[in-house]
Each structure stands twice: as C-alpha cells, then as structure tokens.
Amino acid sequence: MDHADHVNLLRRGIPKPGDTAVASTWADFGSGSGAFTLALADLIRPAGIIYSIDRDRSALQEQERQMTKRFPEVQVHYLNENYTHPLDLPPLDGIVAANTLHFHSNKEPILKQLFSYLKPNGRMVLVEYNIAKGNYAVPYPLPYSAWEQLAQQAGFTQTQLLATRPSSFLREIYSALSIK
C-alpha cells in the first residue's frame, strides 16, 4: 500500500477542515513508522494537531523526519509510550487505530480507555485486516463483524464500514468509523 491507499482508508472518517482552519486534535495509537499518521496529517492539515503514540522510539523518529519533510504545517506530539496504559492527553476530536489492536487479546479495556480520551461525538477510525483466523503477524484478528460488536460493548455508536482494500498480505483490509 502507498500513501494514497492510506488516505483513502481514512478519508470518509475524517471531517474536512473548515474554511476557518479551526484545529482539530487527533491521536494515532500504535502509530509505528507513521504511514497512517502521515495520511491523517494530509487530511487534517493545515491546522490539525496530532498525538502520535508508539513504543518504538526509532519508528517515531523516522516518522518525525517524514512528517517534517511532507507536512511541516501540522503540529505533531510524539509520545514514546505504551498506549495500553493511561496517557495524559487533551480531549480528542478523533482517534486512529490502524493495524494495532490485532496485537491484543483483551481489546475491550483498551477500547474503553480510548473512548475516554474522546470529546462527545468524537470519532474513532479503525483499520484492521478483515480475517477471523490469526497468524504470527496478526495474532488476535478483528474482522469487521467482531468490530461492530466490540465497539458497541466499549460504548461506541454509529459504527459503519468506511472502505475496504485487497491486501497482498492477508485477504482484505478495512476501515471503520465509530462515534462516542
């Protein structure tokens, strides 16, 4: 996948910035080297603010280099943290969790924590592989049908499928939107 694919998976879940350039504040949980953080920046610029959270310091450093080169107008805070632990974040307009929840067997407490970071009517955009059987790379998959149920259990509403794309790695990848 390339940058356009990442943007297309997120696009319908991210409101377009208004003419007044009011900043919106988002977080990318488990951001890694930043493929979806860069897509998020592309969609919320020029006045957006992003909190990019990952345990891998070197991935965050690479992400920062790319962000500075491609989207210098977007304010990004890089947090070298484990997002499964409570974080000191401002109230968020939105969350991106792309290809990260499939590493956790017990997702509901994590989702309830993410839910708590959102402002009322805040958005969560999830990107995951649409598979039911795990493997070494996706040990605890989260197919869309399971996401609908889990999102509701965590307090989210209005869950909807946003986009799908064939995956050369695992059949299909999808994006979904859920609202606080």
User: Is pLDDT above 70 for 121?
Assistant: yes
Q: What pLDDT is attached to residue 128?
A: 97
| Backbone conformation region of residue 42, classed left if phi is above 0, alpha if psi is from -120 to 50, else beta | alpha
| Backbone conformation region of residue 107, classed left if phi is above 0, alpha if psi is from -120 to 50, else beta | alpha
Q: What pLDDT is attached to residue 31?
A: 98
Q: How confident is the model at residue 124 (pLDDT cuts 50, 70, 90)?
A: very high
- The DSSP bridge pattern shows strands 49-54 and 157-166 to be unpaired
d(CA 93, CA 33): 22
CATH number of 3-15+22-179: 3.30.420.40, 1.10.1240.10, 3.40.50.150, 1.10.10.10?
A: 3.40.50.150
CA angle 79, 108, 157 (to 5 degrees): 95
Q: What pLDDT is attached to residue 136?
A: 87
Task: Express each pLDDT in 86-109 by its tens digit.
Answer: 999 999 999 999 999 999 999 999
Q: Which pTM does this prediction carry?
A: 0.94
Question: In whole numbers, what is the pLDDT of the chain averaged over residues?
Answer: 93
For residue 13, give the nearest of 90, 156, 127 by alpha carbon.
127
Q: If you average pLDDT over residues 160-170, what whole number do you get? A: 89
118: helix, strand or coil: strand
